């Protein structure tokens, strides 16, 4: 303890310009260290709600000085809490604007355009054409909203048309073999 007090008392007696320069640099570094602690404290409060992260950030800068700031710059979240909130609000606004133009696939829950008949991700059929009015009808609807025909009737007609077309394409020799 005595050596420390002798060292600082000798520093205060300015014998040369080098001692003055050393004291100025030391004071500057001390102020810079305090400013970095304040900056990291404010920045960590703006970037995270986690008390553990905030305390860890401050302790890093206090204990490791400039190296602690470098470590903090690496581990800190990329966005502030305000930026995260604004991004979320923007995304919700965009979703609300396009809500009428999109549908979700019941199988994979990916988002598709409302005019798509099949999901571009999994290939699940999203819509069928009404047998009567030929307008698109979602597969899970019970009736066509345009003409009122039941969707089950529309699906049955579609299947019967497919069966008739497949029978027409079969060669005559296959038909004789089936009989």
Q: What are phi and psi of 66, to 5 degrees?
A: -70, -35
Angle at CA of residue 52, ends 48 and 58, nearest 5°: 80
Whether residue 63 sits in one domain with residue 135 = no
- Domain count along the chain: 2
Give the range of the structural domain holding residue 159, as residue numbers without chain letter.
Answer: 97-170
Span 13-64, pLDDT tens digits: 666 778 788 888 989 999 999 999 999 999 999 999 999 999 999 999 999 9
Q: What's the mean pLDDT when you consider all of the chain? A: 79
Let me know if residue 74 belongs to a domain.
Answer: yes
pLDDT confidence of residue 138:
76
Let me know if residue 178 belongs to a domain.
Answer: no
Which of 58, 82, 106 is the last residue in one of the domains?
82
- Number of other CB atoms surrounding residue 131 within 10 Å: 20
pLDDT of 145 over the 90 cut: no
Let me know if residue 177 belongs to a domain.
Answer: no
CB-count exposure of residue 154 (10 Å: 0-12, 13-18, 19+): buried
Let me know if residue 57 belongs to a domain.
Answer: yes
pLDDT confidence of residue 163:
55
Whether residue 77 sits in one domain with residue 8 = yes
Q: Which of 30-34, 90-94, 107-111, 147-151 has the lowest mean pLDDT?
A: 147-151
Whether residue 73 sits in one domain with residue 112 = no
What gap in Å lies between CA 25 and CA 19, rounded to an integer? 10
Contact 120, 104 (CB under 8 A): no
Let me know if residue 90 belongs to a domain.
Answer: no
């Amino acid at each position: 303890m005595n050596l420390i007090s002798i060292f600082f008392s000798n520093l205060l007696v300015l014998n040369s310009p080098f001692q003055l320069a050393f004291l100025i640099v030391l004071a500057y570094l001390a102020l810079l260290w305090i400013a970095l602690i304040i900056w990291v404290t404010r920045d960590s409060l703006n970037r995270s709600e986690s008390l553990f992260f905030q305390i860890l950030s401050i302790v890093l800068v206090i204990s490791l000085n400039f190296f602690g700031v470098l470590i903090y710059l690496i581990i800190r979240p990329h966005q502030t809490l305000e930026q995260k909130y604004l991004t979320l609000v923007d995304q919700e606004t965009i979703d609300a604007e396009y809500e009428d133009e999109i549908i979700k696939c019941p199988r994979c829950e990916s988002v598709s355009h409302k005019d798509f008949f099949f999901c571009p991700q999994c290939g699940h059929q999203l819509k069928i054409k009404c047998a009567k009015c030929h307008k698109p009808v979602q597969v899970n609807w019970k009736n066509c909203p345009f003409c009122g025909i039941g969707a089950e009737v529309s699906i049955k007609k579609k299947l019967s048309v497919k069966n008739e077309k497949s029978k027409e394409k079969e060669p005559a020799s296959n038909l004789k073999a089936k009989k």
